[in-house]
Amino acid sequence: MEPGERDARGTTDALSSVEALWRSVVDVLDAVEGPSSALLCTASGFPLKSYGYEHTELVPAARVARSSFARRRNSTASSVPVVDVVTVELVAGPTQTVMTAIPSAQGEHLLAITADDVSMPVLRAWTAHVASQMRRVLAQA
């Protein structure tokens, strides 16, 4: 087998794993009774995966997530270190948002998950779990 073939297979396997992981995120958010959304984007604000957004909202949402995360990342009051991942939490009325930076060989990614009427500790733990799995998958790519 040629080196390029291994690289292509590894990338294909990683993409399949990202798809499966994202499907699990969508399945959980589908079960939430209130409004919810999720966004996976690059650190530069390019949307990669989304749930709960209209197509026309993706780029603006990714850019807002990127800038909100960057602003709050530097504030120790709203930034929570979870292992080697930085997590930012936002609360606006019943809406809870957790944003997590996911380091990878391709650069940093940002995962933002928002849900109404969900416990912040539960949302934080679940987002950290998804980010940890995503980090392992992206490391394979």
What is the model's pTM?
0.81
Radius of gyration of the chain from its Cα atoms, rounded to whole angstroms: 15
Torsion of CA 62, 64, 69, 71, to 10 degrees: 150
What is the C-alpha end-to-end distance of the chain, expressed in Å?
18
Q: Cα 134 to the chain's mean position, in Å?
A: 8
Q: Determine the pLDDT at residue 65.
A: 87
How confident is the model over 56-109, as pLDDT tens digits?
999 999 998 888 887 776 665 544 444 455 678 888 889 999 999 898 877 889
Q: CA angle 51-54-55, nearest 5°?
A: 100
Q: pLDDT of 7-66, one tens digit each?
A: 555 557 767 888 999 999 999 999 999 999 999 998 888 999 999 999 999 999 999 888
If you ran DSSP here, which 8-state letter would residue 94 be given? T
pLDDT at position 4 is: 46
